[in-house]
Amino acid sequence: MAQIFDRSANTLARASLLGVVLLLTGVGAALMQFQRSPFVTNQHIAPEQPVPFSHQHHVAGLGLDCRYCHTSVEESSFAGIPPTKTCINCHAQLWTKAEMLEPVRYSYRTGESLKWIRVHDLPDFVYFNHSIHVAKGVGCQSCHGQVDQMPLMYEENTLQMEWCLNCHRQTEKFLRPKDQVFSMTYAQPSEDHEVSFEGKKYTSQFDLGSDLHKKYNLRTVQDITSCSTCHR
């Protein structure tokens, strides 16, 4: 029987299979990069808000504590968006005629809430509790970034699962004393920067984090990386 395919067909077949594998690998890598891109995560994108509220002005400029506006952050799963009355506490006397604050005054007059756009918005299938993280020594800055330097609020981190797990697997890298949780100027201990905690001085974040892990009674890595911790 005569040979149907030339011997060169073997090489062509191998090249075709290799090409398909490389193509699928390339597509997979491209999709992974797309999934991590700001187009999907909204990272570093400040949404347009009803009022251009500046954390830089209020936190770094005026020295407001996070808890003045986010009153429930130490006691509940959510930090809370301040009611208009919180704004009016100051703005009934300051910038009372400012055009940009008219939505605030209108909200206060009518009782109609301002429609803020959530910047850090986790999917419904993810459970996150602010009070637990605060109680365990996780600073606001660790998740929200350097808020005191943001004229307009944006998402500093991706908030994707791999980012959360990176912290849960290495808690020692991120813990700080509880009295520093709301500080935007806190610096981790290093050879050039000493941090004191309960009379002991630290020049290593790992040493401090390890002691805080025990002091604050954190669960094991296996526990805090289990599916049920965040997906309930």
Phi, psi of 18, deg, nearest 5: -60, -40
pLDDT at 6: 73
pLDDT at 14: 86
pLDDT at 37: 87
Token digits of residue 56 = 């830089």
Could you tell me if residue 139 is inside a domain?
yes
Phi, psi of 126, deg, nearest 5: -110, 130
Could you tell me if residue 209 is inside a domain?
yes
Report the run of H or E that residue 197 belongs to, with start and end: strand 195-197
Report the run of H or E that residue 196 belongs to, with start and end: strand 195-197
pLDDT at 75: 95
Could you tell me if residue 148 is inside a domain?
yes
Q: What is the pLDDT along the chain (232 residues), one digit of tens a residue?
A: 566 767 777 888 888 889 999 989 998 988 888 888 888 899 999 999 999 999 999 999 999 999 999 999 999 999 989 999 999 999 999 999 999 999 999 999 999 999 999 999 999 999 999 999 999 999 999 999 999 999 999 999 999 999 999 999 999 999 999 999 999 999 999 999 999 999 999 999 999 999 999 999 999 999 999 999 999 8
Number of domains in the chain: 1
Could you tell me if residue 12 is inside a domain?
no
**What's the predicted TM-score (pTM) here?**
0.85
Per-residue pLDDT tens for 88-106? 999 999 999 999 999 999 9
Host domain of residue 138: 123-230
189 and 222 Cβ atoms separated by less than 8 Å: no
Token digits of residue 34 = 């797309």
Could you tell me if residue 23 is inside a domain?
no
Q: How far is CA 33 from CA 99, 117, 158, 216, in A?
A: 42, 26, 12, 37
Token digits of residue 62 = 């005026």
Burial class (CB in 10 A: 0-12, 13-18, 19+), 171: buried
pLDDT at 5: 67
Could you tell me if residue 127 is inside a domain?
yes
Could you tell me if residue 42 is inside a domain?
no
Question: Which one-letter DSSP state was computed for residue 52?
Answer: -
Residue whose tokens read 């429609």: 115
Cα–Cα distance, 27 to 115 (Å, whole number): 39
Could you tell me if residue 161 is inside a domain?
yes
176 and 188 Cβ atoms separated by less than 8 Å: yes
* CA–centroid distance for 220 within its chain: 22
Cα–Cα distance, 220 to 213 (Å, whole number): 9
Per-residue pLDDT tens for 35-75? 888 888 999 999 999 999 999 999 999 999 999 999 999 99
pLDDT at 2: 63
